[in-house]
Structure 1
Amino acid sequence: MQTIQDVMTRDVQSISPQETIQRAAQMMDELNVGAIPVLDGQKLVGMITDRDITVRATAAGQAPDSTRVGDVMSTDVRTCSPNQTVDEVLGQMGDVQIRRVPVIDENSQEVIGIVSMGDMATKHSAGVDRALEEVSSPAEPDRSGIGSETRH
């Protein structure tokens, strides 16, 4: 049975919650990714996705060069451990409609990798179709906090 450590991406770039969403978007472009873990020191405090930037910030009229990652990031981050099975994590991803999950070391509690639907599709095909179908089902947008404060 394959575990997450068999399929995860190990060299994970992160961003600080104090950085601007413009910098986050630039990093996503440079790295060709759609999400970046947000770390305060070594502690995972959120995830910033291209969708967070587009829906929570740009659509609300927030300026990319002054809006902080911490203002629009997702804070309810699902994580997994390197020893969990691929099938177990795929099921969780499908249940909560997410495409990427940070991998946390059980001892240090530090981010040691990230696993995505793409990683699993290329390295482990069983179960990916069902999870991808669940993740791709339409969900209500999360607009919490939009418009609650104005930035100039």
Structure 2
Amino acid sequence: MKVSDAMHHKADWASADTSVTEIARMMAKDDIGAVPIGDDDRLVGMLTDRDIAVRVVAKARDPERTKAAEVMTKGVVWCRSSATVEDAIHLMDQKKIRRLPVIDDNKRLVGMLSLGDIAHSVSRDLSGEILHAVADHHG
């Protein structure tokens, strides 16, 4: 199965100079836990709900004044929409991540692939394998 068949096709992103408050509102509206961050039409990071909790709230930073670029996770790991779900699973396992931005052949963000997407798209054995592997580092 291809990633394009399993992913969420709607994927909004925010610019690096967007406030954390605005991104948190995007997360609440769309019921998501991560927003890709772009700069000059390139993916440069991800801002997750955990980034907000640990790098903003726990450090008593003002989310209105804090920009995504200041607290995002840099070094985006992504996959192509044409990749297989199995390849994406191995990448998620290797990098110990739970969400992957998905780009097309023109390097445009076209979706997001999460553990939930995988669980709904592949066999129970395969989805159990990825869940165990990605969650293993919290053991």
Q: TM-score scaled by structure 1?
A: 0.85
* Matched AA of 1:117: L
Aligned residue number for residue 98 of structure 1:
97
Q: Answer yes or no: is the 8 Å Cα contact 2:103–2:110 preserved in 1.
A: yes
Q: Find out whether 1:115 has 2:113 as its counterpart.
A: yes
Q: How does 1:38-53 map to 2 (within 5 A)?
A: 38-53=37-52
RMSD, aligned CA: 1.3
In the aligned structure 2, how far is the partner of 1:111 from the partner of 1:122? 22
Q: Answer yes or no: is the 8 Å Cα contact 2:81–2:103 preserved in 1.
A: yes
Q: Answer yes or no: is the 8 Å Cα contact 2:96–2:137 preserved in 1.
A: no
Structure 1 segments (4+ residues) deviating >3 Å: none
Q: How does 1:1-152 map to 2 (within 5 A)?
A: 2-106=1-105, 108-125=106-123, 126-138=125-137
SS at match of 1:48: strand
1:129 deviation in Å?
A: 0.9
Q: Answer yes or no: is the 8 Å Cα contact 1:80–1:89 preserved in 2.
A: yes
In the aligned structure 2, how far is the partner of 1:73 from the partner of 1:124? 30
In the aligned structure 2, how far is the partner of 1:118 from the partner of 1:11? 15
Q: TM-score scaled by structure 2?
A: 0.92
Percentage of identical aligned residues: 34
Aligned length in residues? 137
Unaligned stretches of 5+ in structure 2? none
